[in-house]
Amino acid sequence: MTDINGVHPVADLFPMLAEDELAELAADIKQRGLLQPIVLDVEGRVLDGRNRLAACESAGIEPTFETYEGDDPDGYAFAVNVNRRHLRAGAPNRPAGSPETAKLLFFKPVAYTTSA
């Protein structure tokens, strides 16, 4: 099994599934297999797939892993979690903190120049 070095702090902002939902995911993975690998950063921290990892452990299935090799692991973890089907506006599964905090944490300023 791949050595996992915890959870990336951005991924950790998002809540885990409820017990019954995690059990459903585990049953599905047991029946169909893991359809999407767990994504780790270069330090071995989970960027995406904490629920899939927990479901694999529960189902006794060996998970597959891939390593994110881009240059913005924070942005990646935020984007893939926000875009989940169950993370819709007003849902209780939104990240901890306010939208303003999320903007400060995750959206990097861009410097623009204008030509005269």
Domain boundaries, given as residue ranges, for the chain? 11-106
For 111, phi then psi, to 5°, come to -90, 130
Q: State the pTM of this model.
A: 0.73
Class in CATH terms, 11-106: alpha beta
User: How sure is the predictor about 114, in pLDDT bands with cuts at 50, 70 and 90?
Assistant: low
Quick one: angle between helices 50-59 and 19-32, nearest 10?
Answer: 70
| 44-70 pLDDT per residue, tens | 999 999 999 999 999 999 999 999 999
CB 52 within 8 A of CB 81: no
Closest CA to 106 of 14, 33, 18: 14
* Torsion on CA atoms 47, 51, 55, 57, rounded to nearest 10: 40
Task: Report the pLDDT value the prediction gives residue 112, as an integer from 0 to 100.
Answer: 47
CB 48 within 8 A of CB 34: no
**In residues, how long is the chain?**
116
Instruction: Provide the percentage of residues in the chain whose pLDDT is more than 90.
Output: 61
